Structure 1
Amino acid sequence: MDKIQVLRKISQIFFFIYFIFLTSFCLCFFGLIEKFILKGSLGDLAIKLAIFIILTLLFGRVFCGWMCPLGFLFELSYKLRLKISKKRKLPTINEKIHNKLLYFKYVVLVLSLILTYYLSTYAFCQICPIGFLTNLYGTVISLMILITFLIISFFDPMAFCRYFCPLGAFLSIFSIKPLFQLKTNEKCVKCRLCEFKCPMQIKITEKIDQKECIRCFECKSACRKNAISFKIPLK
């Protein structure tokens, strides 16, 4: 494991402990958006929301790959399968189905906000998979969803993050063209080792979809040619 992956694991473990055990603040700041709809203001929490948005505008979906406890759990699930099966290539689903499912998280985002407004309740928080662990608004349904997606992620890496997470959809909007971008360079030989390791099933050797990339840098770690960089594009 290279240095960047070591740092990422430390970050994931830290934030997992912080959100689950050391604070009652909802780990998913999507709850802050629902709170704004319900109460019309965020108060001091507005600063936290602004920080997350600025981070996303600068670096892309770093929250998803470095801080989100749900992403951490789902990553452990699919890596457990890799360890058991001893496969080096991540499983993928049909490309046409995958490309269509990517938009479903935006449907979840819009529906969650609409239901929050009309039902005057934290619509998504009550079914959020991590809600059961944080003991905030979690229900038995949230526990069932967590277990279901842990099982699904065992076979289809990061399925919740790819297709269902409204927070991922929200962050994607600010990640369409972040300041720092993941790019391939002239050293790339199209071997696709990076794609074999990408848990988000991104066609890295063709065009990196910045809004879907969670900045896990598994691709960069897998590349043997140092053909992937993370920097401000010059052009």
Structure 2
Amino acid sequence: MQVAKVHFIAKRDKRDILGMPLLGFLFKNRYMLLFYRLLTLFLLLYAIIYGFVNPTKENVFTTAVFWSLFWPFFMVISLPTLGNVFCMVCPHGFLGKHLTRIGLKLRPPKWLANPYIGLIGSNILAYWFVLYTFPSFLRSPLNTALFFTFFTLLSALLFLLFRGMAYCKYVCPIGSVNSAFSRTSFTWLSTYQEECKTCKKPDCALACPYELNPSKFDSRNSMFNCTLCMECAHACDAVKLEAKPWGSSLYKEIKQPKMIEVMVYILLTAVITFTMRFHHGLSRSGISDFMPWVVVGKYLQSMFNLPKWIDMTGLVAMLMALLLVLSVVYLSFKMVAVVSKRSLKDSLLVLGYAFAPLMIVGGLSHVLEFFFTEYYHNIMNGFSQAFGLGIHVEALAKRGEAWLHIFKVFPFIAGLWSLQILWRRSALLAEQRRVLVFAVASSLPGLYLMLSIFALWVMVSFPSVHTHGAH
């Protein structure tokens, strides 16, 4: 597509990344983007094929690519910093843009046009439920290859059938998750509004494979479903990618708030952050036998005589975390609705965005620690195995080393940041009763901080007597 002729090219904002020679090249240049996408596509296909050819546990490459590289780096580390860069280079999205062009371009039916399919079905049930209940399942190279083969074939089918990148929007396990959590990043895509005033046809919107209009992102304070594919920037030079204060959009009014974003924050805070604290934290402490999910899990395991490869403790921990978080949110926001004289839905849509840091920033603690103890040597040794590099490295640190405790600060940063955002957003809901609204709505981040303090106290007072894998 032709680049729109605009006269301001030499006068880009100082914070516009696309105007910075090196960063602009890395984020916008067609050939660099093609290189990233071909690289991730190659890794996806090679890791899948390698998993089928070498299905035994001696294959460390397949699991390293998906669980030590793609998941922790692109999801947990890049989202709160660079934004939705994984979707920018995602091999499924890359293939999808080409398959959609030759496909049937049907409008997705109403039952499919539902992002909760991806969040609850593909993410929570297909991944987290399996991870907690059958912990060894996805550690298998063969099962990992089958898992990603399924989603690769499913994405190809949906891209061929439907328009608007329907798979990414509604079915992808991380589609709505990435869009929601990219709000905590330093980057923001938008357009130069002065140039848009004289625009007779929105080339940026016409070029977007996701059928979005970047010129509306600022006024709506939302980039939901934007994957930073940069097709809009290639179609019109009035598109900019700004470096903004961390999570700046979370402090402002959102014109068209999405309940799916709020539910991403709430559900994944329960399924990931709280469940990890329960099952991979307190369950490995010296007082694990007193934890309710351990007691109930062991009872169910014994009562039904279940094999060891089924982990009822993990399943019960996830269900208890979901019940706890959803109950706290529901009860506290019912009270917020009464205090603010707004509906429960309105209260959640205004204040729920404050919960964004609880999972994505809190999760950094786990991922960064595991980079030193597990991920680094898994990645290096996996690539050495797959490409015959002949090298072997050890972990950068051993579990339990004192300096690793520095990463325990991240949950407290997450909780305090959540409270700060909540205080700012409380004025948007009920300025005259702001203090009372804040006090009631802070139940979830308050509980999160208390759990973090309790887990830290248990770790110090009752040292771990168990070890566990880093999957």
TM-score calculated relative to the size of structure 2: 0.36
Residue aligning to 2:217: 207
**Any gaps of 5 or more consecutive residues in structure 2?**
4-27, 48-60, 249-471
Residue aligning to 1:120: 134
- What secondary structure sits across from 2:189 in the alignment? strand
Structure 1 residues 113 and 156, CA, compared in 2 at 3 Å: closer, same or farther? same
**Any gaps of 5 or more consecutive residues in structure 1?**
33-44, 86-90
2:62 to 4, 24, 44: 24
Range with bigger deviation, 139-148 or 192-201: 139-148
Residue aligning to 1:233: 244
Structure 1 residues 222 and 26, CA, compared in 2 at 3 Å: closer, same or farther? farther
**CA offsets per residue over residues 181-225 of structure 1, 9 Å max, x none?**
1011221135322111112222322226334211111111111xx
In structure 2, give the amino acid aligned to 1:148.
L
Query: Which is greater in Rg?
Result: 2
Residue aligning to 1:165: 172
- The alignment status of 1:107 with 2:120, answered yes or no, reads yes
Structure 1 residues 49 and 140, CA, compared in 2 at 3 Å: closer, same or farther? closer
**1:175–1:211 contact (8 Å) kept in structure 2:** no
Residue aligning to 1:73: 95
Residue aligning to 1:181: 188
Residue aligning to 2:38: 13
- Once the two structures are TM-superposed, the CA of residue 124 in structure 1 deviates from its matched residue by 9.4
**2:190–2:215 contact (8 Å) kept in structure 1:** no
- The alignment status of 1:192 with 2:167, answered yes or no, reads no
Range with bigger deviation, 172-181 or 159-168: 172-181
**CA offsets per residue over residues 32-75 of structure 1, 9 Å max, x none?**
4xxxxxxxxxxxx3896056422122222111121x22122212
For 1:140 and 1:11, locate their aligned partners in 2 and report how far apart those are by CA, in whole Å. 21
Q: Aligned residues, how many?
A: 201
Tell me the percent identity.
Answer: 21
2:235 to 219, 222, 232: 222
| Structure with the higher helix share, 1 or 2 | 2
The alignment's C-alpha RMSD in Å is: 4.1
In structure 1, give the amino acid aligned to 2:196.
C
- Once the two structures are TM-superposed, the CA of residue 26 in structure 1 deviates from its matched residue by 6.7
- Once the two structures are TM-superposed, the CA of residue 80 in structure 1 deviates from its matched residue by 4.0
In structure 1, give the amino acid aligned to 2:124.
V
- Once the two structures are TM-superposed, the CA of residue 177 in structure 1 deviates from its matched residue by 3.9
- What secondary structure sits across from 1:210 in the alignment? coil
